Structures are given as C-alpha cells and as structure tokens.
Structure 1
Amino acid sequence: MSTPNIEKTLTTKETFIFKDMVGPYFNPNWHFHPDYQISLIAEGKGTRFVGDHVQSFEKGDLVVTGPNLPHLWRSDDAYFDKNSKLSTRGLVIYFDHDLFSESLLGKEEFYNINKFVENSVRGMEFYGETRNKINRLIHKINNELGFRRIIKLLEIIDILANSEEYHLLSSPGYTNVFKGDDADKMRIVYDYVMTNFKTKISLEEISEMLNMTTTSFCRYFKPRANKTFTRFVNEIRIGHSRKLLLEDNLNISQISYECGFNALSNFNRQFKAIVQMSPHEYRKLFLNIKTSIS
C-alpha cells in the first residue's frame, strides 16, 4: 500500500500538540499536513527540504512551515548506518490552522500575526536572538497545563511574528501540486540522489526505478520540485559543499570532487549561481564570522 503524503497531526479536540521526538534519524518521508508546524532541531544534522527549497541543517535549526507546505528533514547518511550510534532530537509544535480566523487576522492588533501567517506558506527559517528565545520557551511548553499551554504557544507565536530575524524559504508563488502516490515517488528520488550525489547521477537509472522514460520523469519532476532535476541535484551537491567549506580541512578542489563535480570550473559556476558568491568568498566570510565570535 502506498504511504500517504498527507500526514495527520491534530485531532478535532486539540488546538496544538507538542512532540519531543528522539530517534536514530528524522522521518525520511516527504510529507505535508493541514496544520502549522514549528520545528527546532535539538540534535542532528542533514538536508532540509521545504517546498522547492533545499538547504543543510544542523543543531539549532528553527523553521516554521504553513499548512500543506511539503517538507522533509533528511538526516545525513551516517545516521542510517546499521552500526550508527548517532541520534536525533526534534522539538515540534503543530498548531491548528483555524487558531486565527480571517476576521481576527483582519484586526489592527493582529497585523504582524497576519504577516507571519502569510509568510509561513513559503516556510520561514529563524536565526539570531529569536532562535535563542524560542529555544528557551519551547522546552517549557510541555510543563504547562490547560489554557496556560495556549498562552505559552501564543507567546512563542508573538515572538516569531514580531521578529525580523528570518529568511523565507520556498520561492514566491510556490504551490503544492502533490497527489496520490507522489510521496512514495519523491522519496525514491530523494533517497537515490542523497545516496549517489557524490558520484555520477544517472537520469536513466532513476527514471527506470519509477517505471518512467527519462522524458516523462523530467516532465513529472519539474512541477513538483519547481525546478529541473539537474538543478535539484546541483543544489544537493552545493549544500554538501557548504558544510565541507566550513570544516576547513579540505581545499576547494578536493571539495569539488567530493561533492560529485568532475570539473572545478563547473563547481565554481554552480556554487555562485546558487549561493551568490564563490566558494572562496563563502569560506572566507564564515571563517571571519567564526573568528570574530571566538
């Protein structure tokens, strides 16, 4: 039976639920649901997919996703090793999409809440002091009972809604076109790419795995990912290269080949197209930040 891509989160009796999820790796299935989700990564690292956005994540990652926005936090391959002693922990709040009615959001006092709700449909990554505040509050929410839990949730939402420390993730106008068995098919694609991006990716092989021709696969993939398959693979490779650039134990040429690029010139070109700066500039920027912090 096909795994449904619509995930059930809240019951009709719940306004929100809090989950402290500990496991060997994060849920590897591409999914969406009708509720808002606030996700804080307390332990673990990997690659995050939100709508058509792809980015690496690590401990401290804080993201809000709106109703029916497809998402996936995929742990690095090391977490799936049968001998792995690694573990993950995610602190997640799901709250009802009807918590704020349209009439309420139209009130002057709810201006920032309304903006937050509108932005959440693209996914929002929070950073800085906002992330620190939410990190402190989210650990306490499960200690509250009854309406005090709702007050704590509203406090969290208020901080997020009034923050300017965020990036929007998915592209403007991104829409969820997933249906039927798309979740299973996209899981196969993601698993294949995440397993093989360091070597040659075969369009023929992945098409065959989905019982499609290469032409039909490309036509199938693009509207669901909002990008070509080639662009998707390059984003995965560049995302991994960004991790390696920050570790500072490989030179840029070595990183290029480690991430599946056969030519340094192509790596530099793709990196600049996706990150808007060269690998050298990226490494220098973050090493300077690291030095100033320490």
Structure 2
Amino acid sequence: MRGPNIEKTLTSKETFIFKDLKGPFFNPMWHFHPEFQISFIVEGKGTRFVGDHVQTFEEGDLTLTGPNLPHLWRSDAAYFEKDSKLLTHGLVIYFDHELLSRSLLDKEEFYKVNKLVENSVRGMEFYGETRNKIHELFPQIAVEKGFRRIIRLLEMIDILAESEDYNLLSSPGYQNVFRGEDVEKMRKVYDYVMTNFKSKIALEEIAEMLNMTTTSFCRYFKPRANKTFSHFVNEIRIGHARKLLLEDNFNIAQICYECGFLTLSNFNRQFKSITHMSPHQYRKLFLNIKTSIS
C-alpha cells in the first residue's frame, strides 16, 4: 500500500521554509500537509484545485491554503509533451500552524489574523495591490537569516490579514475526507480528465482503470470532490473555455466543441451555471477590463 497523501514539509526545528521551485511542470500529485502554504506563480499556466474548487491559473497567481486542505496546481497539457521547452516557476512558503497558536489568535490584536486563519481553511486567492506587495517580500525572505526571516513572514501575514482583495475558494463547510490510498486513485482521475476532456469522457474506462464499477466509482468520487464526476468534468471544460474566450482567437461555437461539449445549448447552460454569465458576457467583460488596463 502506498503511503498517505500527506506531505510533512517542516522538521521539528523549523518554523517555516521558503522554496524557489523551478521545473518543467508543477507537482502533479493531489496532496495536503499540516502547514499553511503561501504560493505565488512566477511562470506557468494550468488548472488549480483547492478542496472542491477548480479554477485556471497563470503568472501572478497568489494563494493561501490552510492546514490539511487538499490542493494541486496542474500544469497545462503542453508542459507534459515530450519535446516541451516550457518551464514553471513558483515561490512557496510553508509555515507551522503553531506560529499562530490559539493563545495568540484569541488576543484582541490578532483579530484580523484570526479571521485570515479561519478563511484559510477554504483557501484564499489574492489579487490587486496585495499580490504586488507579497511578491516584493519574497526576495527579502529568501536572503534574510534567523529571526529577521520570521519578521518578514509576519509582515507578509499582516498584509494578507489586512487585505480585502481576495476570493474564498472551497465551498463553506468543505471537509477533507481523503485517506492515504486515495492519492494514486485521484491522480489517475485528474490525469485522465485533463488529457481527455476535449473528447467524450468514458466513465466505464475510468472506473475500470480504478478497478471499480461505474456505480462504485461515482459513489467514491463524490464525497472526495464534493461534487459529481460529471460536474467536475464540466468545470474542467468551462475552465478551458474561459482561457479561449480571453484569447479571442475562436468564436463561441468553435470554443464549445474545442472544450468537449456536443451542443452549443448545453455549453451555454453549463457555462452560465458555473460562471453566472453567458460566454458572450464573459468575453465582453474581460476584454473591456483588458482594454481599460492597457
């Protein structure tokens, strides 16, 4: 039996560690660990999974995940191609939950930090000026030594705690129900869907791959993803559609079929269900934002 999908990132003598991660793709394993994690994407694109939340990511992505919250940054398919020259670059900090002990969080001065800790159990995505400030602090943490590194980390936590520029990711009440043997099974599911979402997804094939019947696979998947398998697949497809809509290289009908949908009506319905706007509205909104920024 494989070991549990729990990564212990700190030793007993460490309060936090900083990692400057560079490689052909990000860690493709669905995992969790007892530490808080601050992640900044310098280079790379793909799909981000945090708890039951699915969303595309690109350069500038900044997130905070709380202890034992399952997550995965899965690079786009192009990064896994044999002759790919694409690279990824991420800045990551893991810090011990004991740094923010309950005895501190209960103090009046830690009110906003306590709120940050409470929100982190769902995962948080930061944007705007908060993202810029945090990015500027990473090089300082990389070179500082001893207690001065702790001070820089506390500065970073303070910025996140004071920020209003964030979105919560996982659903309210999301719970981690993963066991050790789930890591390899879920990796196979994610790999299969990310490789095949542009065509018909064969439920029988993926169930057989896990030595399950289709019924048992659906029962297995739903509590771990907090959604049905079909909804999960649609989220992956709509995530890809959102990328294509922003590139403005395809019309909406072309995007529909490029993302694995068989009918335009179903594509429009699923897109609105997930994003709360139509594909046309989504493209118009974000192209207007892009134009105003430039």
In the superposition, the TM-score normalised over structure 1's length comes to: 0.99
* Whole-angstrom distance in 2 between the partners of 1:187 and 1:145: 37
Q: Letter of the 1:278 partner, please give it.
A: S
**Separation of aligned partners in 2, 1:168 and 1:3:** 30
Aligned residue number for residue 90 of structure 1? 90
What amino acid is the match of 2:92?
Answer: V
1:116 alignment counterpart: 116
- Alignment correspondent of 1:18: 18
Q: Structure 1: which 5+ residue stretches go unaligned? A: none
What is the CA-CA distance between 1:4 and the residue it aligns to?
A: 3.0
Three-state SS of the structure 2 residue aligned to 1:270 is: helix
For 2:207 and 2:121, locate their aligned partners in 1 and report how far apart those are by CA, in whole Å: 30
Q: Tell me the matched-pair count.
A: 294
Question: What does 1:262-277 correspond to in 2, within 5 Å?
Answer: 262-277=262-277
Contact 2:29 2:183 in 1 (8 A): yes
Q: Distance in 2 between matches of 1:125 and 1:45?
A: 16
Query: What's the RMSD between the two structures over aligned residues?
Result: 0.6
- Superposed CA offset, 1:54-85 (max 9, x none): 00000000000000000000000000011000
Aligned partners of 1:139, 1:77: CA distance in 2, in Å? 30
For 2:139 and 2:198, the matched residues in 1 are separated by 37
The 8 Å contact of residues 3 and 184 in structure 1, kept in 2 or not, is answered as no
2:288 paired residue number: 288
Q: Is the 8 A contact 2:6 2:180 kept in 1?
A: no
SS at match of 2:97: coil
Please name the residue that 1:133 is paired with: 133
Q: Please state how far the C-alpha of 1:138 moved relative to its aligned partner.
A: 1.2
Aligned-residue offset at 1:3: 5.0
Q: Tell me, yes or no, if structure 1 residue 8 matches structure 2 residue 1.
A: no
Question: Which residue of structure 1 lines up, in the alignment, with residue 225 of structure 2?
Answer: 225
Pairing of 1:250-261 with structure 2 (within 5 A): 250-261=250-261
In the alignment, residue 7 of structure 2 is paired with which amino acid? Answer: E
Q: Partner of 2:80 in structure 1?
A: 80
Task: For 1:180 and 1:121, locate their aligned partners in 2 and report how far apart those are by CA, in whole Å.
Answer: 20
Q: Which residue of 2 aligns with 1:40?
A: 40
Q: Which residue of 1 aligns with 2:155?
A: 155
CA contact (8 A) 2:271 2:278 kept: yes
Q: Distance in 2 between matches of 1:124 and 1:93?
A: 15
In 1, are the aligned partners of 2:46 and 2:58 still within 8 Å (CA)?
Answer: yes
**Deviation at 1:2?**
2.0
Q: Percent identity?
A: 79
Q: TM-score, normalised by structure 2?
A: 0.99
| 8 A Cα contact 2:3 2:180, kept in partner | no
Which residue matches 2:204?
204
SS at match of 1:68: coil
Q: Deviations over 1:179-226 (max 9, x none)?
A: 021011000000000000000001100000000000000000000000
Deviation at 1:8, TM superposition (A): 1.4
